[in-house]
Amino acid sequence: MLGGPINGISNFTHQFMGFLLSGISNSSTSIFYRKICAVSSSKQAGRQGFDQFGDLTLKAMPEEKALTITNGSSNKKFPHVLTVAGSDSGAGAGIQADLKACAARGVYCSTVITAVTAQNTLGVQDVSILPEDSVAEQLKSVLSDMRVDVVKTGMLPSIGMVKILHDSLKQFPVQALVVDPVMVSTSGDVLAGPSILDTFRHDLLPMADIVTPNLKEASALLGGLQLKTVTDMRSAAKSLHNMGPRNVLVKGGDLPSSSDAIDVFFDGKDFYELRSTRIQTRNTHGTGCTLASCIAAELAKGSSMLSAVKVAKRYVETALMYSKSITIGNGPQGPFDHGFKLKRNACNSSRLPLLDPSDLFLYAVTDSGMNKKWGRSITDAVKAAVEGGATIVQLREKDAETGDFLEAAKSCLEICRIHNVPLLINDRIDIAMACDADGVHIGQSDMPVNTARSLLGPEKIIGVSCKTPEHALKAWADGADYIGSGGVFPTNTKANNRTIGLDGLKAVCLASKLPVVAIGGINLSNARSVMELGVANLEGVAVVSALFDRECVVTETRKLHGLLTETVANAGSTDTN
């Protein structure tokens, strides 16, 4: 029945549905739809929650059965997902999301395009359905030649297309079929109407290894059943399972008043509540497509169904978390970054990840003992230092508990990002990775630089403490970005620390191919003598007590910054004279 109601779908959507669906037919000619207005904020309004990065928790944990994927040949074969879906011009959902998700998960993705939509962050403006013959040809081209492991379906806008897909899969069987029964977009726009429901139920679901409806889609497939709670989602999963798919995942992105993003997975025997933190962001356009593609990708790699779903959910959560504040488009539903690479820019920072040597100019190193003595939190200390002009910050918290340290590091990072100041972590590579700090500073007896590099990746800053020219050369050869050299003067912030003096510092600088920051007992009265050493790669001074063992950190930092600036300016004017 064309244009009939889908219970559970918003009135707004319903009004448009008749209009939109009146054009959808089984004909094999291309049909073009235009909508007058396509914005619904109802879904956005339902997405409130906590901005935390919590654990994905699972209730019930029975044995997982491995879904064995054989590639039909002993040749090493790249895992391959074929997506049969619609194109999204805004590239947040549909084919484009599928390609990005598979690429991010290391899986090849071929594409059969069913429709071309004109879409942006406001909604869907046009839908142009491709001729069914074309879809049939695309399926044949890929399936007959390219040894697909898993087929994932998205927007299937006509009954004829579902039937074609059904027949193609009978002719060219694959290892697994993931069905995302796309009907309504995040913006509330209709992408496949109720006429499709019967074909979905009778032809597609029985073939599916997993079906992944959102709340509205599950409701529509079940004839309008209201889904408002996790208990409702469980019974929906069970009823959908009775329609034939091996597994069901009812997605709860839109579950009203839920502070977690809860999905219910049912394998025919056990229910699992998959919970992750609900990320507070407008950038949720494409989550459903991405989740299904990611499940398909994991299956193609040989994963069991439950682990594929768990990995996929974790992937979506992490991508949303990393992209929560990016802005693409002006509408209520933005896309997210599948590559997790935009986080730094998202935090108002325009600096490039690699070290700018001038960042070493006034290098503030925290000390928990001093903060305790003056009754300051690490965060307050860091805020004061960057406000006073520190150009880089290192958190050196030797005694902190891991959980507390991580929380403190996250808040310090927020402060540093606002001021465009890099934040490094002393020793604790795990903390640096967990909070996505800008890098680490490591000592001679800590983890080797190359191991740290392989853990942190190419974009992070690694600094190494060096007392001798040999240390300096090794740090460079190992791939460090800068060295910290000292103690230049005696200090009590480090026990048994040999003082190398200004001569020792100069020797290290001359041998070093990397920028150097001087450290150890440097304060307002001796900083000038350090900066006047006259070696080009000595970029600045690192200080602990001179900033943090003082009553007012901002004032002390300002004073030191002023003194360093003056010293460098004088040296510059002497050079040119």
Residues that bind ligand ADP (CB under 6 A): 47, 186, 214, 251-254, 261, 263, 276, 278-279, 284, 287-288, 291, 313, 316-317, 320
Q: Per the residue annotation, which of 90, 123, 188, 289 is the catalytic one?
A: 289
Cα-Cα-Cα-Cα dihedral sign, residues 47, 50, 52, 57: negative
Q: Per the residue annotation, which of 251, 301, 460, 467 is the catalytic one?
A: 251
Q: Is 185 in the site for Mg ion (CB under 5 A)?
A: no
Q: Which helix (DSSP H) or strand (DSSP E) does residue 277 occupy?
A: strand 271-277
- Shorter beta-carbon distance to ligand ADP: residue 220 or 507: 220
Q: Is 287 a catalytic residue?
A: yes
**Shortest gap between Cβ of 9 and ligand MP5 (angstroms)?**
13
Residue 505 carries which side chain, given as an amino acid letter? L
Q: Which helix (DSSP H) or strand (DSSP E) does residue 215 occupy?
A: helix 215-221
Give the count of residues interacting with ligand MP5 (CB under 6 A): 18
Q: Is 93 in the site for ligand MP5 (CB under 6 A)?
A: yes
Residue nearest to Mg ion (CB): 287
Do residues 30 and 135 touch, judged by C-beta distance below 8 A?
Answer: no
Q: Is 286 a catalytic residue?
A: yes
- Shorter beta-carbon distance to ligand MP5: residue 192 or 519: 192
If you search the block for the tokens 């929380």, which residue do you land on?
A: 407
Q: Is 491 in the site for Mg ion (CB under 5 A)?
A: no
Pick the binder of ligand MP5 from 8, 94, 389, 487 (CB under 6 A): 94
The strand pair at 108-119 and 57-58 is best described as: unpaired
Q: Per CB under 6 A, which region of 136-144, 179-187, 273-281, 526-534 contacts ligand MP5?
A: 179-187
- Shorter beta-carbon distance to ligand MP5: residue 107 or 129: 129
| E strand spans, 458-528 | 461-466, 482-486, 516-519
Q: Is 88 in the site for ligand MP5 (CB under 6 A)?
A: yes
Q: Is 288 in the site for Mg ion (CB under 5 A)?
A: yes
Q: Is 287 in the site for Mg ion (CB under 5 A)?
A: yes
Residue 321 carries which side chain, given as an amino acid letter? M
Interactions with ligand MP5, residue window 243-302 (CB under 6 A):
285-289
**CA atoms of 294 and 216, how far apart (whole Å):** 21
Kindly report the number of other CB atoms within 10 A of residue 435's CB atom. Answer: 22
Q: Which helix (DSSP H) or strand (DSSP E) does residue 144 occupy?
A: helix 132-145
Q: Per the residue annotation, which of 90, 286, 486, 487 is the catalytic one?
A: 286
Q: Is 288 a catalytic residue?
A: yes
Report the partner that residue 94 touches, choosing among ligand MP5, ligand ADP, Mg ion, none (CB closer than 5 to 8 A by kind). ligand MP5
Q: Is 186 in the site for ligand MP5 (CB under 6 A)?
A: yes
Structure tokens at 274: 């998959």
Q: Is 289 a catalytic residue?
A: yes
Q: Which helix (DSSP H) or strand (DSSP E) does residue 168 occupy?
A: helix 159-171
Pick the binder of ligand MP5 from 40, 138, 185, 557 (CB under 6 A): 185
**CA atoms of 449 and 439, how far apart (whole Å):** 12
Kindly report the number of other CB atoms within 10 A of residue 423's CB atom. Answer: 25
Give the count of residues interacting with Mg ion (CB under 5 A): 3
Q: Per the residue annotation, which of 153, 199, 284, 366 is the catalytic one?
A: 284
Rounded (10°) CA dihedral 309, 315, 321, 325: -110
Rounded (10°) CA dihedral 359, 360, 362, 366: 100
**Shortest gap between Cβ of 286 and ligand MP5 (angstroms)?**
5
Give catalytic residue positions.
251, 284, 286-289
